[in-house]
Amino acid sequence: EGSWENCAELMDKSLPAQIIYYLITAGEVAQDLKEVVYCVGGFVRDLFLKVPNFDMDLVVEGDGQKLATELAERLGGKVRVHDRFRTAVVTLPDGTKIDVATARTEYYEYPAALPKVEKSSLKEDMYRRDFTINTLAICLNPGHFGDLIDYFGGRKDLMNGSIRILYNFSFVEDPTRILRAIRFEQRYRFTIEADTLRFARDAIERRMLGRLSYKRILAELILILNEKDPVPALERIRGTGVWKYLLPEIDVDDVSWKTIKRVPVVMGWWEEQYYSRKIKPWLIYIVVFFAQLSFEQVEAEMQRYPFDRYAKGCIMDSLGIPALAEDISRRSYLSPSDLDKMIASVTNENLIYLLLCIKDEEAWDRVARYLDLKDKIELEVNGYDLLELGLKPGPIFKEILDELYYLKLDEKIHNYEDEVNTLKQWIEEGRFTHAVRI
């Protein structure tokens, strides 16, 4: 059944030695428990596509939770089990996570009073998945390590770049798969196979996506917007009539698509320039989408979608960004410390939005330069130095250090010596008479 090949060599070539070691160990644990374990899903798909993906999903024919517990013990990790779904997550000391699921079980009822007999089935488990390209499994047990199990032609569809469902009512059963199909199609530049596309269009026409909660819609939207370049998927969503289920309150024709298309470009530049300034990519797109809404409308969106606190704050703050951008562009000069007073508390996502709003090249450069300095420059003196200089502690300390920081940000002073000299000068000038200790 299915086609067979061994991919131990491919694994060896493509995966870090650490990952191989974890997989081999999982196979050994399974063998000891007289079970069979496979790695499955996106991990196997991306192995064949040569896309780095080290999120291991294991399926066990047997007791997945037992295997996970034993595996965690052998690798010195921790295990968390979810009884409701018979799954478990193993977290290893290096932070690697391994998801472990138990293969769905078929019950065979024998006649008379004999007990039910369980037969776990990998095939059954694979059949319930979304697309054939996600149904590949690789056996990890010793003696069979690397054996590929391909029940539904997933290997061929991977080679042909085809997204194909496994059964006709797949999209009706789980409408999020419509969005997943579009996401995979655009990510890998695949094609949704003709019959699958027909079933998807049919499900869209029958308003299946309308049944999803805002919570599930948001989860899928975030996955789409976090793709390296979500623009093609967004265009496909627009073209297939799916938009009105994703962000019904946003008028798709009113979105600044020019700005949206610049997001991945500016984000790429940002990640290179400001490596330590982490961002949530999806949030930037949301902020740009919401730009067409009024304050009240944005507040209403906050009620519908379960954004977390950070995202909510960010979205609300974004309403003030266009005005801020205009203000910054209008000024003929703003020093880094002037900018610090204006935008020090703006989130990284909104800073990118700010940059997207600034059309004036000089203003853009000023903001970029400010961020650069802000990441580089730190005061070397602290409260102890102020005490040493005879100042009495109090709220004035923060004021003094802030002012000193602004000087350094504006590159008027450069090192510890400059800082101390400036302080001495300020004291001499009698600037802090009320703060000087006697």
Helices 416-428 and 396-409 cross at an angle (nearest 10°) of 130
d(CA 158, CA 134): 9
What single letter denotes the amino acid at residue 49?
L
**Cα 158 from Cα 42, distance rounded (Å):** 12
**Residue 355 tokens, joined:** 């940059």
Q: Which is nearer to ligand CTP, 131 or 289 (CB)?
A: 131
Name the E strands within 109-152: 117-120, 137-139, 147-150
**C-beta of 138 vs 352, nearer to ligand CTP:** 138
Report how far residue 248's alpha carbon sits from residue 250's, in angstroms, rounded to the nearest whole number: 6
Which token pair is 279?
């961002």
Q: Do residues 260 and 285 make contact, with C-beta atoms less than 8 angstroms apart?
A: yes
Give the nearer residue to ligand CTP in terms of CB position, either 176 or 292. 176
Q: Quick one: 249 exposed, middle or buried, by C-beta within 10 A (0-12, 13-18, 19+)? A: middle
Q: How far is the CB of 134 from ligand CTP (least distance, A)?
A: 3
Would you count residue 164 as binding ligand CTP (CB under 6 A)? no
Decide whether 171 or 353 has the Cβ nearer to ligand CTP. 171
Helical packing angle, 281-290 and 309-318, nearest 10°: 40
Q: Judged by CB, which is closer to ligand CTP: 173, or 326?
A: 173
Q: Write out the binding residues for ligand CTP, residues 41-100 only, by CB under 6 A.
A: 41-42
Pick the piece of the chain touching ligand CTP (CB under 6 A) from 100-108, 174-182, 325-333, 334-342. 174-182
Distance between CA 305 and CA 296 in Å, rounded? 15
Strand pairing of 36-40 and 56-61?
Answer: antiparallel
| E strand spans, 254-383 | none
Q: Of 42 and 232, which has the nearer Cβ to ligand CTP?
A: 42
Q: Return the range that interacts with ligand CTP (CB under 6 A); candidates 176-184, 250-258, 286-294, 322-330.
A: 176-184
Residues 132-161 that bind ligand CTP (CB under 6 A): 134
Verify binding: residue 174, ligand CTP, rule CB under 6 A: yes
CA gap 281, 267 in Å, rounded: 8
Nearest-approach distance from CB 100 to ligand CTP, in angstroms: 13
Stretches 74-82, 171-179, 272-280, 388-396: which one binds ligand CTP (CB under 6 A)? 171-179
Closer CB to ligand CTP, residue 42 or residue 264?
42
Range 5-24, binding ligand CTP (CB under 6 A): none
Binding segment for ligand CTP (CB under 6 A), chosen from 173-181, 310-318, 342-350, 400-408, is: 173-181
**Reduced to 3 states, what is the DSSP secondary structure of residue 61?**
strand
- Which is nearest to 22 in space by CA: 41, 5, 6, 39? 39
Q: Does 173 bind ligand CTP (CB under 6 A)?
A: no
Q: Which stretch binds ligand CTP (CB under 6 A): 13-21, 114-122, 175-183, 279-287?
A: 175-183
> Quick check: 130 binds ligand CTP (CB under 6 A)?
yes
| 176: contact with ligand CTP by CB under 6 A | yes
Question: Which residue's Cβ has the minimum distance to ligand CTP?
Answer: 42
In the bound complex, what is the minimum distance in angstroms from residue 174's beta carbon to ligand CTP? Answer: 5
Cβ-Cβ contacts under 8 Å for 271 (sequence gap 6 or more) = 279
Query: Closer to ligand CTP at the Cβ: 130 or 301?
Result: 130
Q: How many helices (H) and strands (E) does the chain have?
A: 23, 12
Q: How many residues bind ligand CTP (CB under 6 A)?
A: 9
Residues 356-395 that bind ligand CTP (CB under 6 A): none
Q: Which C-beta is closer to ligand CTP: that of 173 or that of 410? A: 173
State the DSSP H helix or E strand holding residue 38, giving kind and residue range, or none if neither. strand 36-40
Residues within the interface to ligand CTP (CB under 6 A): 41-42, 129-130, 134, 174, 176-177, 180
